[in-house]
């Protein structure tokens, strides 16, 4: 199993990089202060998601196409509903445990949407988003948990991570992922 390190540019060494245009700069802040020009970005939260495109199907290019704004609305009825969304995540862990990266950890990926963690709005500002290829309706693979744990360790070594949460924790009532089949006991905390 690959051990990952996050380099100074915010990339996981060993991950396959596919550039997403769906990101922007994080607000420049120091913990406990108001944003100011030239201060370092705070990255203190990991958000775990699940995704499959088409829904419930694995292994295709739908997720990559969504995150790179290349989803064909005629390819599947669900794609017609979501093809214009501008979304991304920092990482995607495939069913076989392979790791893809779409956005540098130093940038703000667009994965959380309207969100709140412990009174802080806009979780995209201070989080790293990790998508697991999966759904709310079945379990995840052992290889995914292995990669996830290695990735969490690398992120926590590079940044002052204070919590690891599900999308459902920061957007309750709006989001359900990583879903009831995600086994929180299998991840490092």
Q: List active site positions.
A: 131
Element containing residue 77 per DSSP (H, E): helix 77-82
SS3 148: helix
Contact 89, 130 (CB under 8 A): yes
Q: How many CB atoms lie within 10 A of CB 105?
A: 25
d(CA 176, CA 139): 14
């Amino acid at each position: 199993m690959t051990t990952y390190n996050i380099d100074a540019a915010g990339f996981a060494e060993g991950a396959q990089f596919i550039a997403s245009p769906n990101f922007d700069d994080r607000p420049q802040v120091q913990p406990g202060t108001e944003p100011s020009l030239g201060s370092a970005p705070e990255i203190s939260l990991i958000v775990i998601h699940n995704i499959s495109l088409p829904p419930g199907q694995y292994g295709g290019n739908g997720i990559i196409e969504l995150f790179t704004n290349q989803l064909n609305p005629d390819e599947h009825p669900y794609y017609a509903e979501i093809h214009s969304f501008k979304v991304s995540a920092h990482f995607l862990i495939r069913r076989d445990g392979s790791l893809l990266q779409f956005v540098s950890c130093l940038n703000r990926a667009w994965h959380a949407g309207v969100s709140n963690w412990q009174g802080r709005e806009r979780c995209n500002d201070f989080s790293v988003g990790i998508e697991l290829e999966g759904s709310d309706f079945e379990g995840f693979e052992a290889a995914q948990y292995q990669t996830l744990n290695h990735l969490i360790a690398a992120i926590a070594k590079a940044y002052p991570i204070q919590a690891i949460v599900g999308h459902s924790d920061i957007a309750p009532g709006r989001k359900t992922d990583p879903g009831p089949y995600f086994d929180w006991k299998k991840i490092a905390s």
